[in-house]
């Protein structure tokens, strides 16, 4: 996947990661809480997976620094049978 | 005859409470929350159904906010028992992942486990289902397993620790009603855990006939949500589940291939 590595190297001071299947750029040094705030996601209403590990401790979001190539999944309950 | 007016099905209590994994539920009808025209309609239908257990699915948050899909703004977790499903999962590992995410939401450790094996029929993959059941039971989940109406699979699911087994009446969303009453009855007769028929109920008579087989409950979604008037159909399903349950408890008359007169054969004029 040379395309994504090109993107990743493109801008210094930025981190490229995947959130809900889509690539996003964030400033380096951002914590998970910063990402949620920018996405207007209320941490209390969602469950978050980082690289396939569920992040159970919501109080850790403030100090959890995001890294390049992180795969973040943000899920919630929707209607279903 | 005045007292006869007072006798309705509400006069008769159910001798057996509806209990799954030690928890008693007030209604034998469980309902899904998908496919409604609006959240307001969904809530109204669920209330009309009298259901306590309502199923929900786990999906990605729409980060572009094209629509508000989150259901918890509309569904009070204190009023309803939220049962997360693993709908859409085609492998045991996917279903396990979804179940873990659902539990992390913090409501309960219950899961309506689906492992689908075929896109066209949405029929369950028995092998994957059994594998996922074992893993999730080991992790402390209360697994309600959505399965084919196959006795041997049902027995294996019970053996694996499922707290309820949920054989289908017919494929999900088909509305075909119960295709194999013999299989449903056999599963109910052989299992100790509750048997809850899930999927395929299309109208109130379908629900009634399912309950007449003696099963413990029914879960439905499309049968209500896809009706022309979902709220009225939800009320009809509530009555049908209660009627079918009472008919089962009452014990139906034997079937005969010949007629038996209901009126006296003696005392006829001219005899």
Rg of chain A's alpha carbons, rounded to an integer? 13
Residue B26, phi then psi, degrees to nearest 5: -85, -20
Asked which of A75-79, B15-19, B72-76, B138-142 is least confident by mean pLDDT, the reply is: B72-76
Q: Is residue A10 part of a domain?
A: yes
Separation CA B79–CA A73 (nearest Å): 29
What tens digit of pLDDT does each residue of B32-83 get? 999 999 999 999 999 999 999 999 999 999 998 766 668 888 888 889 999 9
Residue B124's DSSP bridge partners are B116
Q: Is residue A81 part of a domain?
A: no
Q: Predicted confidence band at B271 (pLDDT cuts at 50, 70, 90)? A: confident
What tens digit of pLDDT does each residue of B240-249 get? 999 999 999 9
Q: Is residue A34 part of a domain?
A: yes
Q: Is residue B35 part of a domain?
A: yes
Q: Is residue B96 part of a domain?
A: yes
Q: Is residue B166 part of a domain?
A: yes
Tokens, residue B174:
């088909």
pLDDT at B217 over 70: yes
Separation CA B246–CA B250 (nearest Å): 6
Q: What is the mean pLDDT of chain B?
A: 93
CATH of the domain at B218: 3.20.20.70
Which pLDDT score, from 0 to 100, does residue B2 have?
A: 47
Separation CA B157–CA B137 (nearest Å): 11
Q: Is residue B2 part of a domain?
A: no
| Number of domains composing chain A | 1
Please check whether residue A23 touches B, CB under 8 A.
Answer: no
| Structural domain for A58, as ranges | 2-75
**CA-based nearest residue in chain A for residue B82:** A77
Q: In chain B, what percentage of residues exceed pLDDT 90?
A: 85
What tens digit of pLDDT does each residue of A39-79 get? 999 998 899 999 999 999 999 999 999 999 999 999 999 99
Q: Do A78 and B104 touch (CB under 8 A)?
A: no
Separation CA B21–CA B253 (nearest Å): 33
Which pLDDT score, from 0 to 100, does residue B239 have?
A: 96
| Structural domain for B121, as ranges | 18-250
Q: Do A79 and B85 touch (CB under 8 A)?
A: no
Residue B218, phi then psi, degrees to nearest 5: -135, 145
The pTM of the full predicted model, rounded to 2 decimals, is 0.88
Please answer whether residues A31 and A15 qualify as being in contact, where contact means their C-beta atoms are separated by less than 8 angstroms: no
Q: Is residue A45 part of a domain?
A: yes
Please check whether residue A21 touches B, CB under 8 A.
Answer: yes
| Number of domains composing chain B | 1
Q: Which of B112, B142, B156, B238 is catalytic?
A: B112
CATH of the domain at A24: 3.10.20.30
Which pLDDT score, from 0 to 100, does residue B177 have?
A: 95
Q: Is residue A23 part of a domain?
A: yes
Q: Is residue B114 part of a domain?
A: yes
Count the neighbouring beta carbons within 10 Å of the beta carbon of residue B155: 14
Please check whether residue A68 touches B, CB under 8 A.
Answer: no
DSSP B16: S
Tell me, what's the ipTM? 0.86
Angle, vertex CA A54, rays to CA A48 and CA A58, nearest 5: 60
Separation CA B127–CA B130 (nearest Å): 5
Picking from B34, B87, B104, the nearest residue to A56 by CB comes out as B104
Strand residues in chain B grouped as ranges (E): 18-20, 23-25, 29-31, 53-60, 81-85, 110-113, 142-147, 164-167, 196-198, 217-220
Q: Is residue A80 part of a domain?
A: no
Which pLDDT score, from 0 to 100, does residue B72 have?
A: 83
A6-12 average pLDDT score? 58
Q: Is residue A52 part of a domain?
A: yes
Separation CA A7–CA A41 (nearest Å): 26
**CA-based nearest residue in chain B for residue A77:** B58
Higher model confidence: residue A4 or residue B161? B161
Chain A residues 43-62 within an 8 A CB cutoff of chain B: 45-47, 49, 52, 54, 56
Q: Is residue A15 part of a domain?
A: yes
Picking from B60, B65, B87, the nearest residue to A81 by CB comes out as B87
B112 carries an active-site annotation? yes
**CA-based nearest residue in chain A for residue B225:** A81
Q: Kind of pairing, strands B18-20 and B29-31?
A: unpaired
Please check whether residue B175 touches A, CB under 8 A.
Answer: no
């Amino acid at each position: 996947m040379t395309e994504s590595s090109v993107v990743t190297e493109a801008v210094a001071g930025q981190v490229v990661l995947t959130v809900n299947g889509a690539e996003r750029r964030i400033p380096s040094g951002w914590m998970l809480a910063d990402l949620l705030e920018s996405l207007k996601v209320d941490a209390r209403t969602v469950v978050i997976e980082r690289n396939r590990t569920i992040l159970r401790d919501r109080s850790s979001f403030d100090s959890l620094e995001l890294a390049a190539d992180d795969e973040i999944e943000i899920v919630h309950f929707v209607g279903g049978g | 005859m005045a007292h006869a007016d007072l006798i309705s099905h509400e006069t008769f209590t159910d001798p057996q409470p509806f209990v799954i994994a030690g928890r008693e539920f007030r209604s034998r009808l469980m309902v899904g929350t998908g496919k409604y025209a609006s959240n307001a309609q969904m809530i109204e239908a669920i209330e009309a159904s009298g259901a306590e257990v309502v199923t929900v699915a786990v999906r990605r948050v729409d980060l572009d906010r094209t629509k508000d899909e989150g259901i918890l703004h509309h569904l009070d977790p204190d009023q309803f028992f939220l049962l997360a499903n693993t709908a859409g999962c085609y492998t045991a590992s996917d279903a396990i992942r979804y179940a873990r995410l659902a539990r992390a939401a913090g409501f309960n450790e219950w899961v309506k486990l689906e492992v689908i094996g075929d896109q066209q029929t949405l029929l369950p993959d028995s092998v994957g289902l059994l594998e996922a059941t074992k893993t999730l039971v080991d992790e402390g989940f209360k697994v309600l397993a959505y399965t084919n109406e196959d006795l041997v699979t049902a027995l294996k699911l019970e053996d694996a620790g499922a707290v309820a087994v949920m054989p289908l009446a017919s494929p999900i969303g088909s509305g075909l009603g119960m295709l194999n009453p013999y299989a449903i009855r056999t599963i109910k007769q052989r299992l100790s855990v509750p048997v809850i028929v899930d999927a395929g109920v299309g109208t109130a008579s379908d629900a009634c006939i399912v309950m007449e087989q003696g099963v413990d409950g029914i879960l439905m979604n499309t049968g209500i949500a896809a009706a022309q008037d979902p709220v009225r159909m939800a009320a009809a399903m509530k009555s049908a589940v209660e009627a079918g349950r009472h008919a089962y408890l009452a014990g139906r008359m034997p079937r005969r291939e010949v007629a038996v007169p209901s009126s006296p054969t003696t005392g006829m004029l001219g005899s």
